[in-house]
Every structure is written in structure tokens, then in C-alpha cells.
Structure 1
């Protein structure tokens, strides 16, 4: 084939178009997957937060206590994950919560 061949120019244009489409698809799919993972993590953290807030009770002396632990069994394993604390009124209550 000569350099000015229509077949060669169409093949090169097709190959360049495919490469451009694959690069664009890579970036678009990566961004979509990242947003999906972030939304799932936020939703899971909000669920755990609501369970923890719902299980809090005030003891005498205005101290908050975790009267009802979260229902997820992953919170049972000590020293293995998510840590949180309650601050307010000049007092801090720290809790260790394991998130597998």
C-alpha cells in the first residue's frame, strides 16, 4: 500500500478513534466507579452513626453511655478498625469500634 492509500488512511483513522474511545471510556468508568464507592461508604457510615446515636443513653452526671451496641457483628472485634468519640460539655467519652 502506498502512503496515500485510502485503505491505509482509513485503518489509521479507525485505530486512532478506537484508542481515543478506550482512553475516554477508561476515565469515565473510573470516575463513575469512584463516585459509586464513595456513595456506598458514606451510606454505610451514616447507618453506623444512626445505630450508635440511637443506642446512646445519658447516665447520671450528664455522661453519655452506649446502652445499646450496634447490631453489626463486626463491631465485636476489639482493636481492629473504626474509632469514634463523643465530645461535648467539656467532657470526652472515647469508644473503640471495630469495623472489619
Structure 2
């Protein structure tokens, strides 16, 4: 159980950092799935939707559900604070220092 919790924390911060670094502060589910896979944090589409719903419910992203399988996530100001390590949130890994 602890491994699943740690993995979810890493997935959530990876999603937030990806959205923060995106040119328009957003990405669709396909792009986010590819990013998580690249960092050995891959998950099913259902698991990704669960992560995105969690982030939306906590105010870190907004979701535009275009179709059942295609969602667009956009980071909020609160999400940027978490992605930059300014805010520390239970359930999301704090990012390491950059540089």
C-alpha cells in the first residue's frame, strides 16, 4: 500500500510540473500519460483520470472534459505554487530544488 501512495504522490507532482512548464499551462490526457510513462510512473487511463479528478477537487487544476477519453487539464495558481514547492500539500510529493 505504501508504494501505491508514494507512486501517486510522484504522479501528481509530475502532472503539475508538466502543466506548469507547458506553453499554455495545459495538456490533454494523452500527453500526460506519455509524460508519466517516460518517467516510469505510467498508469492506466482510469488511474490517470482518478489522479486528475483528485487534483481538480483540491483546486490545483481545472478540467475540460471534451470526450469520455479526452480531457484537457490546466494548472491553477494554487497548482503552480505546489509545482514550485512554495506550497506543501499532503498527497503530492514536494519537488526537489531545481538548478
Query: TM-score by structure 1 length?
Result: 0.34
Per residue, is there more strand in 1 or in 2? Answer: 1
Question: Larger RCO: Structure 1 or Structure 2 (Cα < 8 Å, ≥ 6 residues apart)?
Answer: 2
Find the structure with the greater CA-based Rg: 1
Query: TM-score by structure 2 length?
Result: 0.34
